[in-house]
Structure 1
Amino acid sequence: MHSLQIEDLQKAYGDTVVVSGLNLTVGQGEMVALLGPSGCGKSTTLRMVAGFVEPTAGKILLNGVDISHMPPHRRDTGMVFQSYALFPHMSVAANVGFGLEMRRVPKPERSARVAAALDMVRLTNLADRMPRQLSGGQQQRVALARALAVNPALLLLDEPLSNLDAKLRAEVQHEIRSLQQRLGLTTLIVTHDQEEALTMADRLVVMEGGRIRQAGTPRELYESPSDTFVAGFVGRCNLIEGSCEGAGIFRTTNGTLLPCNAAASPLKDAVLAIRPEHLALAPADAALGPQASRARITGATYLGSQTEYRLDLGGTRLIVMSSMSAPNSGHRVISEGDPVTVTWPTSAARVLPRT
């Protein structure tokens, strides 16, 4: 059962098309993340679903009901804004109950639902505080409680964690996902943070230029990107320009031959995509097998359990995530300027058409 259906949705401002022919379904209890760079149309799409932006064309169906032109308060949705949008002159409880008051819910029921929502986000003891007396994480949870209090059929999250520091972001991210799964909330979230989307969502929808480039599970998009835009946007990826010479052979623009997973058919204008964690380093004196290449370390950044190495492989720049310099790894420390041998599984080197 699809809780949310978006059909041929479009938004244009004069001659500028912001969202074009977008089709998307979100299943009951599913969390779907709209992911993409600034200006790709993801926030406009969310605001059309919420009712704050009028579509130029297309339909938005919620549980089979066309809500395309309904006002926001009649859409049975709850929204958490990037800025939280809390009323500074209202207490936490009053902020959480505002949506219920606008829906003319009787006061006794309103009070009970506010209390339940605050309990869900663990803020019961702060009900009488003002927003200015709260931390950023607490304000974010008040905004979430306000959205949950109306018992929405669809929860909408617009960059909900962007104003939090890294540690707090990870904690609140887990809280939102846990709450969403426990309540079975159908959720559409907008983010530009790849890690946030990979961690929280059941499915990702990568947008660019107002269109969907690829949709699928986090694993599908990370391991099997459809093009170089998706490969470069979802996680980190080495993108090497060149041509596919035939089965398993890729020639870089500098003429270096590299192993790949390509079939026999050649592709003259192509890109080889390899994730940094799939590359393995060995000392330069290691035996050079058919899948190995010589390279030189041009830089290294220590990250604790791993080190990020920057390599020059015949004029091609690569990034490698390796544990060679980690404490107790058993490997000698390699430094900038050192020669190394680099290998990768052929299956991990995907040949993609140039975007």
Structure 2
Amino acid sequence: MSSLKIEHLAKSFGTTEVLQDINLGIAEGEMVALLGPSGCGKSTTLRIVAGFETATSGRIELGGTDITATPAHRRNTGMVFQSYALFPHMSVADNVGFGLEMRKIGRSDREAKVRQALDMVQLGHLADRMPAQLSGGQQQRVALARALAVNPDLLLLDEPLSNLDAKLRGEVQHEIRALQQRLGLTTLIVTHDQEEALTMSDKMVVMQGGRIRQVGAPRELYDAPDSVFVASFVGNCNLIEGKREGEGMFRSTSGALLPCARSEAADADESRVLALRPERVRLSPPQQGAASAQVVGVTYLGAQSEIRVDLQGTRILVTMPTPQARDPMAGLAEGDMVSADWAPEDARLLPAGA
């Protein structure tokens, strides 16, 4: 496997700038997720790395070698497309061996590599099947086996799980991640699914409008977003507008006084946004001295429940394990009064409008 380095990458289609000054390093054996909304430039970045698009400017290194001008077929990368791109007239084995045949690998070596790749994804018993005879999850694994068969220096995944149902997607996420870690594959995956990025990657790259907004480990981006955009895109988040009022306190625009992390960067007269994850809010029966809130909605989600409360005119979403029958919080309903609190360090102040 090899490391990947992207320097000052830019791409324009006519007068439209799609990518602007993209800089990113991926260590050998690391799995990195490009995450962002549709049109943010993540797939274009992947296609340029693969060699399917040409950069307007910038430089790409793979394993220390400049591949910026290297044609796609000469870059030792393995690609799994969103549509899987399997040949319907070829068997599973022939699909997996196609890249090897294009590389003019001898038949006996090619067959051995095909068997090895199919065994990696646990589909050796389906080598003679046609793609139409496979389920969506099996087709996805065939596409992955085809990418692995060429022993790539870099594995590229372009929203590979978007065509699977939710339950199967979760299972395949773990399978791909386990295989990637076992083989030490340097991997770049494009996704718009925040859960997929959090589950599968060592590092996340959040993009917006053709630019990188923040790079970091999944926990870092979830716990310490540095902008309103990242906080809102990576997981659910309460975003409350207002201003800092003294150290460790925040006054919302509705007048609620809320605890927050201490921040020397925020002046009292500057507009700020308080970012608070729903699961960090604790609800309890009303008690003297605690902030009182009124339940305005309850959504049952099985093991979890979402409770919306009004805290001094400020609406807050709370996610909590569904209370058991004997729990004092069981049976919460609209109109009930509760106490709501959270650790100050769990409420971050972020620049407004960012």
Task: Calculate the TM-score normalised by the size of structure 1.
Answer: 0.96
Aligned match of 2:188: 188
**Residue type of the partner of 1:273?**
A
Of residues 252, 258, 275, the one that matches 2:277 is: 275
Which runs of structure 2 are paired with 1:199-214 in the superposition (5 Å)?
A: 199-214=199-214
Aligned match of 1:309: 307
Aligned-residue Cα RMSD (Å) equals 1.4
Task: Calculate the TM-score normalised by the size of structure 2.
Answer: 0.96
Question: Given the alignment of the two structures, is residue 287 of structure 1 paired with residue 288 of structure 2, yes or no?
Answer: yes
**Residue type of the partner of 2:321?**
S
1:328 CA drift (Å): 4.7
Aligned match of 1:81: 81
- d(CA) in 1 for partners of 2:225, 2:260: 15
1:113 aligned counterpart, secondary structure: helix
1:330 CA drift (Å): 4.9
Query: 86-95 vs 293-302, which deviates more?
Result: 293-302
- d(CA) in 2 for partners of 1:200, 1:272: 28
1:222 CA drift (Å): 0.6
Question: Given the alignment of the two structures, is residue 71 of structure 1 paired with residue 74 of structure 2, yes or no?
Answer: no
- d(CA) in 1 for partners of 2:233, 2:131: 36
Aligned match of 1:140: 140
Aligned match of 2:335: 337
Q: Is the 8 A contact 1:88 1:130 kept in 2?
A: yes
- d(CA) in 2 for partners of 1:51, 1:288: 62
Aligned match of 2:107: 107
Which runs of structure 2 are paired with 1:39-50 in the superposition (5 Å)?
A: 39-50=39-50
- d(CA) in 2 for partners of 1:111, 1:328: 61
1:38 aligned counterpart, secondary structure: coil
1:52 CA drift (Å): 0.7
Which ranges of structure 1 fall in alignment gaps of 5 or more residues? Answer: none
Aligned match of 1:15: 15
**Residue type of the partner of 2:351?**
P
- d(CA) in 2 for partners of 1:133, 1:328: 50
1:329 CA drift (Å): 3.5
Q: Residue 267 and residue 227 in structure 1: after superposition, are their counterparts in 2 closer, same or farther (change >3 A)?
A: farther
List per-residue Cα deviations over 1:4-38 (Å, max 9, x = no partner): 00000011111111111000000000000001111
- d(CA) in 1 for partners of 2:347, 2:240: 10
1:326 CA drift (Å): 3.4
Q: How many residues align?
A: 351
Q: Is the 8 A contact 1:306 1:326 kept in 2?
A: no
- d(CA) in 1 for partners of 2:340, 2:150: 56
- d(CA) in 1 for partners of 2:15, 2:177: 39
Query: 263-272 vs 94-103, which deviates more?
Result: 263-272
Aligned match of 1:222: 222
- d(CA) in 2 for partners of 1:259, 1:92: 58
Q: Residue 86 and residue 253 in structure 1: after superposition, are their counterparts in 2 closer, same or farther (change >3 A)?
A: same
List per-residue Cα deviations over 1:265-290 (Å, max 9, x = no partner): 42521000000011011123x1224x
List per-residue Cα deviations over 1:49-89 (Å, max 9, x = no partner): 00111111001110011111222111000000000000111
Of residues 324, 345, 348, the one that matches 2:346 is: 348
Structure 1 outlier segments of 4+, above 3 Å: 326-332
Which runs of structure 2 are paired with 1:224-243 in the superposition (5 Å)?
A: 224-243=224-243
Aligned match of 1:250: 250
Query: 308-317 vs 236-245, which deviates more?
Result: 308-317
Q: Residue 53 and residue 326 in structure 1: after superposition, are their counterparts in 2 closer, same or farther (change >3 A)?
A: farther
Q: Is the 8 A contact 1:261 1:347 kept in 2?
A: yes
1:261 CA drift (Å): 1.0
1:332 CA drift (Å): 3.6
Aligned match of 1:323: 321
- d(CA) in 1 for partners of 2:233, 2:5: 25
Q: Is the 8 A contact 1:22 1:212 kept in 2?
A: yes
Aligned match of 1:263: 263
- d(CA) in 2 for partners of 1:6, 1:92: 34
Query: 74-83 vs 312-321, which deviates more?
Result: 312-321
2:299 aligned counterpart, secondary structure: strand
Which ranges of structure 2 fall in alignment gaps of 5 or more residues? Answer: none
2:261 aligned counterpart, secondary structure: coil
**Residue type of the partner of 1:315?**
G
- d(CA) in 1 for partners of 2:2, 2:99: 25
Q: Is the 8 A contact 2:285 2:328 kept in 1?
A: no
Question: Given the alignment of the two structures, is residue 296 of structure 1 paired with residue 294 of structure 2, yes or no?
Answer: yes
Q: Residue 196 and residue 267 in structure 1: after superposition, are their counterparts in 2 closer, same or farther (change >3 A)?
A: farther
Q: Is the 8 A contact 1:121 1:141 kept in 2?
A: yes
Percentage of identical aligned residues: 64
